[in-house]
Amino acid sequence: MSDAKAVEAALARYDSEKGKHLEDLIRLTRIPGVSFDGFDPAEVERSAVCTKGILEAAGFENVELMRIPGTHPYVYGDWLKRPGAPTVLLYAHHDVQPPMREEVWKSPAFEPTERDGRLFARGIADDKAGVLIHAASVASWLRTAGTLPVNVKVIIEGEEEIGSTHLGAFLEKYKERLRADTVVLTDCSNFDTGVPSLTTTLRGLISMDVTVTGLDHPLHSGMWGGPIPDPVQGLAKILAKLSDDNGRPAVPGILDDVKAPSAAEMEDYRKLGMTDAEFRKQAGIEPGVKLFAKDEGLLTRMWREPSISVNSIQAGGKKIAGNVIMDAAWARVGLRLVPNMDHAKATRMLKEFIENNCPWGLKVEVVPEQGANPWMTRPDHPVFAVAKQSLGRGYGRDAVLIGCGGTIPFVDSFTRVLGNIPALLVGIEDPYTNAHSENESLGLADFHAAVRSQIHFFADLAAASAADAGFWGGKKDLGRT
């Protein structure tokens, strides 16, 4: 069978079995594998076991649960029977976010429900669809040609949604087993529905809990109000100072390390054709709400500038509010970082700013969480051109290069620990996915296009690598285990 016919056979096999792959996705998504503290860890274990079965059925070999102490399970598999061909490490994660407000979901969070060409459920796009993209693309090749054009390893993580805290240690322990020429991380977004995208920048993140206290118990606001500082207003004053009138972080020095996008990057942003109207539509912004940028400047603000958000705030309770001065108020503050910023330095600056701006002698406690640095790659390795070609074939239109305003901490770990191999960040989310929010959904047309793209990618990468002796710069892994 010729290479072209082998690709066509694999694509046809996927088309004939895509219903079965969707059934596997639905079965996996029904498992509420929330990795957060306070949720049943047995469900994450069950999610890992289900993932293991899906990979085994797809034809992966050496499939097993892998773990280090204190972690939810990873799932590993491989297929390494193509001597001389490059090795691709595939990544996704099987753990999911909590469902949040159950009453806001239009259908049960863990019962995938189809509406208007989309499947709605928690974790359906982030990132259980990624698991099935890997499984379905490999299965389609093995069930037709009986072989793959490249060697493949797959790692499905179980704690990505809680920050991949142990991933660095996991990679250090198993780095020889995971060694590869390139990694495909299927946990990102497309620029828009039907627009295949490669992500080349990620923002980093620091988060901290801020608690302002003034009393040892709440007081009647009529009997005591006036002489006593209100801790809730004190917290509000701190939070109001975090950003300037144009929404930029106002912490002194926090912007000093920020570098503007290059002229080439700005040209890429302009080509994407973002408009104020489209941005408002995608984000669901209420009429009259001000935007802090315009057209492609909106992308620059999201992808290449830091931003501060108040993720949550609490003082008392909405349903039990009384006429009192509250004893304390709490907020979660998040700062997104951009390339060239350091999370440890930014954490120190933000913490000191909050502590120094607490009014009226109120007590403020700031507890930072573990931070994640931003990430950026130069898409000049020939593997990026191959990936764009494959995505174009799978989706039926040219792929684009984009940034991402979100944070994926493990990307830096993967590329660094595994020898700075090129990382291809692709995904299945779009502006309407609502990942981490209620009513998360997966566009089915894009899911099928993503699988077809990866089927093409295996063949395209093998052909390009064979045709160019310098493709890997003399460092090809050649499928070693």
> What is the pLDDT at residue 481?
40
Does one domain contain both 74 and 166?
Answer: yes
243-259 pLDDT per residue, tens: 999 999 999 999 999 99
Average pLDDT rounded to a whole number, residues 100-108? 96
Does one domain contain both 348 and 435?
Answer: no
**Residue 478 covered by a domain:** no
Instruction: Name the amino acid, one letter, at 231.
Output: P
For residue 40, say if its preceding peptide bond is cis, omega within 30 degrees of 0: no
Cα 358 from Cα 213, distance rounded (Å): 10
> What is the pLDDT at residue 2?
66
Does one domain contain both 267 and 239?
Answer: no
> What is the pLDDT at residue 475?
62
Average pLDDT rounded to a whole number, residues 62-79? 96
| Model confidence band, residue 480 (pLDDT cutoffs 50, 70, 90) | very low
Q: Which CATH number is 386's domain given? A: 3.40.630.10
Does one domain contain both 404 and 461?
Answer: yes
383-421 pLDDT per residue, tens: 999 999 999 999 999 999 999 988 887 788 778 888 899
**Residue 442 covered by a domain:** yes
Q: Which CATH number is 315's domain given? A: 3.30.70.360
14-30 pLDDT per residue, tens: 999 999 999 999 999 99
Q: Show which of 320, 349, 368 is a domain's final residue.
A: 368
> What is the pLDDT at residue 477?
55
Does one domain contain both 406 and 342?
Answer: no
Does one domain contain both 276 and 247?
Answer: no
The percent of residues in the chain predicted with pLDDT above 70, rounded, is 98
Does one domain contain both 234 and 355?
Answer: yes
311-369 pLDDT per residue, tens: 999 998 877 788 999 999 999 999 999 999 999 999 999 999 999 999 999 999 999 98
> What is the pLDDT at residue 370?
78
Question: Long-range contacts made by residues 341-347, C-beta under 8 angstroms, separation at least 24?
Answer: 341/204, 341/257, 341/258, 341/306, 341/373, 341/374, 342/257, 342/373, 343/204, 343/205, 343/206, 343/371, 343/372, 343/373, 344/371, 345/257, 346/206, 346/254, 346/306, 346/371, 347/206, 347/208, 347/371
Query: Is pLDDT of 476 > 70?
Result: no
Q: Which residues of 388-402 are buried (b: 16+ CB within 10 A; e: fewer)?
A: bbbbbbbbeeebbbb
Does one domain contain both 252 and 269?
Answer: no
Q: Show which of 316, 337, 368 is a domain's final residue.
A: 368
**Residue 476 covered by a domain:** no
> What is the pLDDT at residue 412?
80
Cα 98 from Cα 101, distance rounded (Å): 9
181-226 pLDDT per residue, tens: 999 999 999 999 999 999 999 999 999 999 999 999 999 999 999 9
Distances (CA, A) of 368 to 235, 261, 280, 343, 387: 17, 29, 32, 11, 38
**Residue 481 covered by a domain:** no
Does one domain contain both 159 and 247?
Answer: no
With 0-12 / 13-18 / 19 or more C-beta atoms within 10 angstroms meaning exposed / middle / buried, residue 33 is buried
Q: Show which of 344, 368, 392 is a domain's final residue.
A: 368
**Residue 85 covered by a domain:** yes
Residue whose pair of structure tokens reads 């408009």 in the numeric block: 275
Does one domain contain both 265 and 250?
Answer: no
Window from 75-89, 342-356, 363-377, 449-463 with minimum mean pLDDT: 363-377
**Which of 219 and 2 is assigned the larger pLDDT?**
219
Does one domain contain both 341 and 454?
Answer: no
Average pLDDT rounded to a whole number, residues 428-434? 94
125-172 pLDDT per residue, tens: 999 999 999 999 999 999 999 999 999 999 999 999 988 888 889 999
Q: How many domains does the chain have?
A: 3
**Residue 455 covered by a domain:** yes
| Cβ-proximal residues to 234 (8 Å cutoff; 6+ apart), any chain | 212, 214, 329, 358, 359, 360, 362, 364
Q: Phi/psi of residue 463, each to 5°? A: -65, -45
Range of the domain at 168: 3-202+374-467
Average pLDDT rounded to a whole number, residues 101-123? 97
Does one domain contain both 311 and 298?
Answer: no
Take residue 272 and report the two structure tokens written for it.
Answer: 């994407």
Task: Decide: 190 and 428 in contact? Cβ < 8 Å.
Answer: yes
**Residue 253 covered by a domain:** yes
**Residue 103 covered by a domain:** yes
Average pLDDT rounded to a whole number, residues 111-125? 98
What does pLDDT average to over the chain? 94
